[in-house]
């Protein structure tokens, strides 16, 4: 790994994508400053799944031991039918996934995963210069009068000049707008309820006990909606993501507090196991309107580039948004790690060339899943279920 860069990069946004990029660049010897608008670096109180592609990136950054300490491993991925909970398909994960994909499929609390990456950014024993993390720094403007030294300008007027600037500022990226990129944001028409249900409540009730007896990544398909759930922190919480048609209020506000009653009411007539589970939600239920971006390969201009949701926001219908951001981070650092500051635009161009097509395919597939997951009962739903059946396999763990 090259580790002798003498230049500096500013990353706007300290989410999972921005921090992974900061860590990967640090390990290539690049001096990195991360500007985060929030008063504290952290993540929302929710779960996250990382498929082998993301696990591989994070292991490559030396985080395997830390991830082993915070992960929960699902033994299978199960797809169920809304009305009676019958299993449409069961795909083994667990050991089999590690054996065949050479990396695991794991679940985490988002805050735990974020903390692991952040700690590695600032670990004085780590390789490369420690990442400079600045909170309360909302970037509101860019000064590109010297194209070789872009300046990020925070709301309080502080200027951050560097050799390159990476916009990792999420689905509503300000950097993207300031670069003059086309407006590609699309409202999906759906929203996601998110909730964490205490695992002890689940374990104590015979009607929900099955959820702790075998850890699985489960998705229920029903007409115009679907429900995802899995355990995190070794069973401390059941993470719920429930995707349903969006209300006008949430569409307008992007996100809104919700309630266990609203969550349970969103699945009328579903198999008894669904209300039994959802009725255990506590008061921290919230709703997020789901936006994504049209495929757009324009992610860089000179010494400025985009990463993660800022470049390819996608629906969470493949659980790949953060994972794709992590793949971006690894490739970005690899390319920047090989050049001197004069050649940054070429490195950024190579980064985009290596990433845009693949991320765009994942974006498109996630969008197609909106239709695929939500068929009303009928011929298309039956054809889908038959297609999924081919992923069936016997679990060996
Ligand atoms: P973000 O996480 O949005 O981070 C952007 C950061 O930039 C934030 O900290 C923000 O405060 C900061 N910021 C924004 N503007 C500014 C500014 N102007 N100045 C300074 N800072 C700024 N992906 C998976 O891989 N697996 C999953 O299981 C999964 N589940 C999901 C479930 C749901 C319900 C949803 C909605 C998404 C899910 N995703 C999942 C997608 C994933 O959450 C995102 O793709 C990922 O968080 C994007 O990371 P990011 O760093 O690009 O952006």
**Angle at CA 95, nearest 5°, toward 90 and 96?**
55
In terms of DSSP bridges, do strands 164-167 and 304-306 run parallel, antiparallel, or are they unpaired?
Answer: parallel
DSSP state of 287: E
pLDDT the model gives residue 397:
36
Tens digits of per-residue pLDDT, 110-126?
Answer: 999 999 999 999 999 99
> Ligand 1: does its nearest atom lie under 6 Å from the Cβ of 55?
no
Tens digits of per-residue pLDDT, 193-239?
Answer: 999 999 999 999 999 999 999 999 999 999 999 999 999 999 999 99
d(CA 356, CA 111): 28
> Ligand 1: does its nearest atom lie under 6 Å from the Cβ of 194?
yes
ipTM: 0.99
Measured on CA atoms in the order 319, 324, 329, 334, is the torsion positive or negative?
A: positive
Specify burial of residue 208 (Cβ count, 10 A radius: 0-12, 13-18, 19+).
buried
13-49 as b/e: b if 16+ CB within 10 A? bbbbbbbbbbbbbbbbbbbbbbbbbeeebbbeebbbb
Q: Which residue in the list 160, 230, 317, 373 is annotated as catalytic?
A: 230
Q: Which residues pair with 187 in a beta bridge?
A: 291
d(CA 39, CA 2): 33
Q: Structure tokens of 386?
A: 């038959």
pLDDT the model gives residue 95:
86
> Ligand 1: does its nearest atom lie under 6 Å from the Cβ of 167?
no
Measured on CA atoms in the order 149, 339, 349, 188, is the torsion positive or negative?
A: negative
Are 29 and 73 in contact by the 8 Å Cβ rule? The answer is no
Mark whether 317 is an active-site residue. no
Segments of the chain scoring below 70 in pLDDT = 1-4, 393-397
In the reported structure, the alpha carbon of residue 168 is separated from the centroid of ligand 1 by a whole-number distance in angstroms of 9
pLDDT the model gives residue 94:
85
Place of tokens 């999972």: 16
For 132-287, where are the alpha helices, taking DSSP H only? Answer: 174-178, 199-204, 210-213, 248-253, 260-265, 273-278
In terms of DSSP bridges, do strands 255-257 and 164-167 run parallel, antiparallel, or are they unpaired?
Answer: unpaired
pLDDT the model gives residue 394:
55
Are 61 and 23 in contact by the 8 Å Cβ rule? The answer is yes
């Amino acid at each position: 790994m090259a580790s002798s860069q003498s230049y500096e990069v500013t990353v706007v946004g300290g989410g999972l994508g921005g921090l992974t990029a900061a860590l990967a660049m640090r390990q290539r010897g690049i001096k990195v400053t991360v500007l985060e608008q929030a008063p504290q670096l952290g993540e929302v109180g929710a779960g996250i799944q990382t498929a082998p592609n993301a696990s591989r990136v994070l292991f490559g950054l030396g985080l395997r031991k830390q991830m082993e300490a915070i992960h929960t491993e699902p033994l299978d991925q199960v797809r169920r039918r809304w009305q009676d909970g019958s299993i449409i398909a069961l795909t083994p994960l667990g050991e089999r996934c590690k054996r065949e994909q050479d990396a695991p499929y794991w679940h985490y609390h988002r805050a735990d995963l974020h903390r692991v990456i952040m700690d590695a950014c600032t670990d004085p024993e780590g390789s490369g210069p420690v990442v400079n993390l600045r909170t309360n720094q909302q970037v509101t403007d860019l000064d590109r009068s010297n194209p070789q030294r872009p300046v990020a300008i925070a709301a309080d007027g502080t200027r951050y000049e560097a050799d390159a600037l990476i916009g990792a500022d999420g689905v509503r990226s300000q950097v993207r707008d300031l670069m003059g990129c086309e407006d590609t944001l699309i409202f999906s028409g759906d929203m996601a309820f998110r909730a964490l249900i205490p695992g002890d409540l689940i374990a104590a009730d015979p009607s929900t006990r099955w959820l702790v007896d075998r850890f699985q990544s489960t998705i229920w398909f029903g007409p115009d909606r679907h429900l995802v759930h899995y355990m995190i922190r070794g069973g401390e919480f059941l993470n719920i993501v429930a995707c349903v048609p969006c209300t006008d209020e949430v569409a307008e506000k992007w996100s809104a507090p919700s309630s266990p009653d609203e969550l349970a009411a969103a699945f009328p007539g579903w198999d008894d196991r669904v209300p039994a589970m959802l009725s255990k939600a506590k008061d921290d239920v919230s709703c997020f309107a789901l936006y994504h971006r049209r495929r757009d390969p324009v992610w860089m201009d000179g010494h400025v580039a985009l990463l993660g949701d800022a470049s390819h926001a996608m629906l969470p219908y493949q659980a790949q948004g953060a994972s794709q951001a992590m793949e971006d981070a690894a490739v970005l650092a690899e390319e920047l790690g090989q050049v001197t500051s004069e050649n940054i635009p070429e490195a950024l161009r190579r980064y985009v060339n290596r990433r845009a097509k693949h991320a765009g395919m994942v974006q498109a597939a996630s969008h197609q899943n909106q239709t695929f997951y939500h068929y009303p009962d009928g011929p298309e739903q039956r054809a889908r279920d038959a297609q999924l059946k081919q992923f069936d396999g016997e679990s060996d763990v």
